[in-house]
Amino acid sequence: MGDAMSGYSCVDHGLVDAILERYPREEPSLIQVLQDVQRAYNFLPCEVLTRVSRELGVPLSKVFSVATFYKAFSLTPQGRVIIKVCTGTACHIRGAPLLIEEVQRRLGILPGGTTEDAAFSLHTVNCVGACAMAPVVIVGDKYLGNAKAAGLAAHLTRGE
Ligand code: FES
């Protein structure tokens, strides 16, 4: 059985094939390719990074160093909805810690974590430039200003 599984891959290589088609096979394409891979897979799968390294002729160590340098990239699978709680000074003072606790309590995950059903990931972020509406929580691409713990529940439901 082990031999039969040796060529098995968990990722859809069709997605990375399509991405690689769009760019010149050279090192300057690296960040754009990684951005597209992140968008397509919702993270940067290890075997896709190996493929990108080979196709663009960039050493794997360099691919990993770029992948780990930028916060927009993740090496672990992310939830379909990413929740970002701003922990900048204004948001911290206005209650960000309570918001983080509320999300943790409702979803059972810590910052950096993803729910088992891959519905949600929770992250803390630095100031997102919307201090006037602090505290700020971003759910997917929706900004929630003056966020209150009690008001978060409506945004944390599955299967919308
Ligand atoms: S500190 Fe949260 S938006 Fe600036």
Structural domains for the chain: 11-69 (no CATH), 81-155 (3.40.30.10)
Calculate how far, in angstroms, residue 110's C-alpha sits from the geometric centre of ligand 1.
Answer: 20
Amino acid 11: pLDDT: 82
Burial class from Cβ neighbours inside 10 Å (0-12, 13-18, 19+) for residue 114 reads buried
> Does residue 89's CB lie within 6 angstroms of at least one atom of ligand 1?
yes
Amino acid 95: pLDDT: 96
Q: Which atom of ligand 1 is nearest to the CA of 89?
A: 1
> Does residue 91's CB lie within 6 angstroms of at least one atom of ligand 1?
yes
> Confidence band (pLDDT; 50, 70, 90) for 159?
low
Q: Is pLDDT of 69 > 60?
A: yes
> Does residue 144's CB lie within 6 angstroms of at least one atom of ligand 1?
no
The pTM of the full predicted model, rounded to 2 decimals, is 0.76
Decide if 85 contacts 125 (C-beta within 8 A): yes
Residue 37: how many CB atoms within 10 A of its CB? Answer: 24
Q: Which atom of ligand 1 is nearest to the CA of 92?
A: 1
> Does residue 131's CB lie within 6 angstroms of at least one atom of ligand 1?
yes
Amino acid 148: pLDDT: 95
C-alpha distance from residue 124 to each of 23, 55, 144 (Å):
32, 34, 14
Decide if 32 contacts 73 (C-beta within 8 A): no
- Provide mean pLDDT across the span 62-79: 92
Calculate how far, in angstroms, residue 109's C-alpha sits from the geometric centre of ligand 1.
Answer: 23
Positive or negative CA dihedral for 11, 57, 43, 110?
Answer: positive
